[in-house]
């Protein structure tokens, strides 16, 4: 697959799948038709030239495949007529699309195929882990390796979860639940969107430090979700968190594409419009949380953490004691090793590296490059240079991202 076709595919595959599901296909049939469209693009585009609208070409081809299969299955004449004449639309890209007209008449209150597909895939019949894995594969288009890294598990385990999830949903109508049932799926949808954003924010593999297209798509969906659910604190918190983190994207790499870590970034390059949007969403979230007896949730606390950095004009202005208190609250709600790692880093700045080092060393995060990198950083700050080299070598061995590996290698050489 050429990089250009792959880029279009990453952007369009979830929209194609969502459209075919809305047209009445089950998950297996929709995926087959979308894959058929990809194969057709790989065959035709290199030989015949790129279409003016690649996404429309893929959509038309996928719909034609679905129409063919529906016809072979002897679907009702009314559906055949509504889905017909795709060949003319494919040739001209100008004629009305009968299937598009049919779908345009459906108003389910979501209004976005990718978000609709997330609500569908986050089926409560599945475990949370299966929901996340299926949705990240189906909607976000992440590879098994990327999902495994995001969920801190093995690739084979992710493959098994997705296979079992599809088997559990086989035979069920793959359709959007009624509005009354969507509230129970909001948390899972928010989790998937944030995992999707994180893969774009720090790419787990490849030649680039960030995948900004993935970040922007996750942010677009988060904004849509927040507008759709203005009374849901988690939806507002998710938008706030993503806006604030996305504001740093222009400063996360230098002119040569090399990574620039948070405390070394030129904060004048941060997108102030996104900062303002994020802080406004956080204010909405706080107002909603004031009405909740259980107080702020994990997403709200993460947005508050991002806001502390956003408000610091210089890295040395960061309010580390306040960050530490926020991490204490987050760790109580979400007791994970990664949260504990971030809390220990905040503690190292608020109190000192000597107090933070034993906390970091006790965490079960072997294989996670940023754990090894954090250990090396604390050892270096304690002037234990010789000891800092080994965790840096571990971090280099554990990362699959070429830019991250080069950054770590430079740190090791400086030691």
User: How would DSSP label each residue in 129-164?
Assistant: HHHHHHHHHHTS---HHHHHHHTTS-HHHHHHHHHH
Strand partners, 253: 259
Q: Is the dihedral of CA 205, 27, 104, 190 positive or negative?
A: negative
Contact of 90 with 57, CB cutoff 8 Å: yes
Q: How many CB atoms lie within 10 A of CB 283?
A: 13
Calpha distance 404→205 (Å, rounded): 9
- Give the residue from 379, 402, 403 showing the smallest Cα distance to 391: 379
Domain assignment present for 330: no
> Within a domain: residue 404?
no
pLDDT at 39: 86
Kindly state the helix (H) or strand (E) to which residue 206 belongs, with its residue range. strand 205-206
In DSSP terms, 401 is beta-bridged to 206
**Is residue 81 in a domain?**
yes
Q: How many CB atoms lie within 10 A of CB 325?
A: 14
Q: Which helix (H) or strand (E) holds 401?
A: strand 400-401
Alpha carbons 138 and 16: distance in angstroms, whole number: 11
- Print the domain residue range for 31: 1-92
- Rounded distance between C-alpha atoms, residue 203 and residue 214, angstroms: 10
Reported in sequence order, the residue ranges of 306-360 that DSSP labels E, i.e. its strands, are: none
Residue 291 in domain: no
Q: How many CB atoms lie within 10 A of CB 198?
A: 18
Q: What is the pTM of this model?
A: 0.80
**Opening angle at CA 249, ends 248 and 250, nearest 5:** 95
pLDDT at 194: 97
CB atoms under 10 Å from CB of 366, counted, come to 9
CA dist 131 and 121 (Å) reads 6
In a domain, 87, yes or no: yes
- How many of the other CB atoms lie within 10 Å of CB of 137? 21
Q: Could you read off the pLDDT tens digit of each residue along the chain, which spans 415 residues?
A: 455 777 777 777 777 887 787 776 777 788 888 888 888 888 888 888 888 888 888 888 888 888 777 776 654 444 445 445 444 444 434 344 444 433 443 445 677 878 888 998 899 999 999 999 999 998 888 899 999 999 999 999 999 999 999 899 887 767 777 877 888 899 999 999 999 999 999 999 889 999 999 999 999 999 999 999 999 999 999 999 999 999 999 999 999 999 999 999 999 999 999 999 999 999 999 999 988 888 899 999 999 999 999 999 999 999 999 999 999 999 999 999 999 999 999 999 999 999 999 999 999 999 999 999 999 999 999 999 999 999 999 999 999 999 999 999 999 999 8
Is there a domain that residue 147 lies in? no
**Of residues 153, 269, 139, 252, the one with CA closest to residue 203:** 252
Contacts of 190 (CB under 8 A, 6+ apart): 225, 234, 235, 238, 299
- Continuous segment of H or E residues that includes residue 205: strand 205-206
Is 16 inside any structural domain?
yes
Per the structure, the count of domains in the chain is 1
3 in a domain, yes or no? yes
């Amino acid at each position: 697959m050429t990089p250009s076709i792959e880029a279009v595919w990453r952007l369009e595959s979830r929209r194609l799948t969502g459209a075919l599901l809305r047209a009445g296909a089950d998950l297996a049939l929709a995926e087959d038709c979308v894959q058929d469209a990809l194969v057709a693009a790989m065959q035709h585009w290199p030989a015949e030239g790129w279409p003016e609208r690649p996404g429309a070409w893929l959509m038309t081809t996928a719909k034609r495949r679905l129409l063919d299969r529906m016809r072979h299955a002897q679907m009702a004449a009314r559906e055949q007529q509504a889905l017909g004449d795709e060949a003319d639309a494919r040739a001209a890209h100008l004629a009305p699309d009968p299937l598009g007209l049919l779908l345009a008449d459906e108003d389910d209150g979501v209004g976005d195929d990718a978000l609709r597909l997330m609500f569908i895939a986050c089926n409560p019949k599945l475990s949370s882990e299966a929901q996340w894995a299926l949705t990240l594969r189906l909607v976000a288009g992440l590879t098994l390796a990327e999902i495994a890294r995001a969920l801190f598990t093995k690739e084979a385990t992710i493959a098994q979860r997705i296979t079992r999830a599809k088997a559990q949903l086989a035979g069920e109508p793959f359709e959007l639940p009624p509005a009354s049932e969507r509230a129970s799926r909001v948390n899972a949808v928010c989790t998937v969107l944030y995992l999707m954003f994180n893969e774009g924010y720090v790419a787990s593999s490849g030649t680039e430090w960030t995948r900004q297209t993935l970040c922007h798509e996750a942010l677009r969906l988060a904004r849509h979700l927040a507008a759709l659910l203005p009374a849901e604190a988690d939806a507002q918190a998710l938008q706030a968190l993503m806006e604030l983190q996305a504001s740093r994207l222009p400063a996360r790499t230098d002119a040569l594409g090399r990574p620039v870590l948070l405390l070394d970034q030129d904060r004048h390059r941060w997108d102030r419009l996104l900062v303002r949007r994020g802080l406004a969403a956080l204010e909405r979230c706080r107002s909603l949380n004031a009405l909740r007896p259980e107080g702020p949730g994990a997403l709200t606390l993460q947005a508050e953490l991002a806001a502390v950095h956003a408000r610091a004009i210089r890295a040395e202005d960061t309010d580390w004691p306040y960050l530490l208190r926020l991490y204490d609250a987050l760790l109580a709600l979400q007791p994970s090793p990664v949260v504990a790692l971030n809390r220990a880093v905040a503690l190292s700045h608020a109190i000192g590296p000597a107090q933070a080092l034993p906390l970091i060393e006790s965490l079960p995060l072997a294989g996670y490059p940023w754990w090894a990198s954090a250990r090396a950083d604390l050892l270096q700050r304690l002037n234990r240079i010789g000891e800092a080299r080994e965790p840096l070598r571990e971090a280099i061995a554990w990362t699959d991202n070429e830019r991250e590996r080069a950054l770590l290698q430079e740190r090791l050489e400086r030691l």
